Structure 1
Amino acid sequence: MAGAAIKKKIGLFFGSFNPVHVGHMIIANYMATQTDLDQVWLVVSPQNPLKPKNSLARDYDRLHLVRLAIGENPNLRASDIEFSLPKPSYTIDTLTYLKEKYPDHQFVLIMGGDNLASLHRWKNYELLLRDHEIFVYRRPGYDIPQHFEEHPQVHFFEAPLMHISASYIRQAIQEGHSVQYLVTEPVFQYLESSALYKS
């Protein structure tokens, strides 16, 4: 009897991506190429339960920017999976849906050390830890609780980080400043030619 098929290991990098910037892309590419992940999906969140929604650009505008940023990179993929799920989006519900939709995939969460520190506030976070590996990129200034440092499902990586925030980019665009090099060139060209974030 043949052994069970090896599942494709997919890293899920959730975010508002409002807009996606080079800091996001560096982390996504690092996780896709320097870990045992087969691919990283950038999951565009329509509404983070812990963030106000009024500053978000439209869902499909943000998804389009992520697709532009990825380009032809086969290691990365933009996902709108949460757009059709009940709002607000909870990671545990999204994972339940993905496991049913893609039974041949194994899903891993990607998050920063800052998110790990607030994981206890997430819906059913105990199930997340029980059923899924979590790949954490360390962030300066955030101490990792000891029980996570020793948790068998939590793995830490020293991914290169850039001190760039989406809010800084939005403010720069509103004030008429160039954001070239803070975002990938296709994203920059699109933002230059559109009204997105300009008002």
Structure 2
Amino acid sequence: MKIGLYFGSFNPVHIGHLIIANYIAYNTDLDKVWFVVSPQNPLKVSSTLLNEHHRFHLVELAIKDADRLKASNIEFSLPRPSYTIDTLTYMAEKFPTQEFVVIMGSDSFENITRWKNYEQLIKHYPIYIYTRPGHPVKESQGANIRIVDAPMLDISSSAIRKLIQEGKSIRYLVTEDVQQYIEENGYYR
């Protein structure tokens, strides 16, 4: 089985994330896409970052009916801060029969050479890159890359958090279940 790993804080998960993950799951050779929810980075204590278990639950709610999408909290049990290469190494040991691919935006890919042990990452794992406006992929950095032209929505988690703080509607920016759960629990206020 070929699994795409879509890393992020998903703070909160929104329609833009879901469109990218679903598009990649159904328009590439991947069997599944896992949302790998990154835990709170202890080096960057941010009051805007919701507890990782709450963010994981919101992802589970958002994709509960999606066959090819799965939420993963694998990084919760790994040393922190979590580095992609360490997570990949752990997952390769834990799931030896699976083939893993990293999914990332072209903006993140621009900075790949700054990542911990990026040489190991690009040598052992294909990278599926969804293009973000203003961030064309100019070179592969020696990585096995595949450009995926997924539909892009100009939505950000930070803009959603701001709307919540201002008491404005986030309807249609997140799934109904996610909106309801955020409101019921008073998240991001």
TM-score (normalised: structure 1): 0.91
- In structure 2, C-alpha distance between the alignment counterparts of 1:21 and 1:152, rounded to whole Å: 29
| Structure 1 counterpart of 2:147, from 156, 162, 175 | 156
Residue in 2 aligned with 1:82?
Answer: 75
| Structure 2 counterpart of 1:12, from 5, 19, 24 | 5
Cα 1:80–1:99 change in 2 (3 A) is: same
The answer to whether the aligner puts 1:176 opposite 2:163 as a matched pair is no
**Structure 1: 5+ residue stretches without partners:** 1-7
**Structure 2: 5+ residue stretches without partners:** none
1:80-122 CA-partner distances (Å, limit 9, x unpaired): 0000000000000000000000001000000000000000110
1:2-60 CA-partner distances (Å, limit 9, x unpaired): xxxxxx100000000000000000000011111000000000001458x8331210010
1:47, 1:89 within 8 Å by CA — same for their partners in 2? no
- In structure 1, C-alpha distance between the alignment counterparts of 2:17 and 2:5, rounded to whole Å: 12
| Structure 2 counterpart of 1:52, from 44, 59, 69 | 44
Q: How many residues align structurally? A: 188
1:152 CA displacement: 6.1
- In structure 1, C-alpha distance between the alignment counterparts of 2:140 and 2:27, rounded to whole Å: 25
Bigger CA radius of gyration: 1
SS of equivalent to 2:146: strand
TM-score (normalised: structure 2): 0.95
Task: Give the letter aligned to residue 131 of structure 1.
Answer: H
| Structure 2 counterpart of 1:135, from 125, 128, 149 | 128
Residue in 1 aligned with 2:111?
Answer: 118
SS of equivalent to 2:10: coil
1:146 CA displacement: 2.5
- In structure 1, C-alpha distance between the alignment counterparts of 2:50 and 2:72, rounded to whole Å: 16
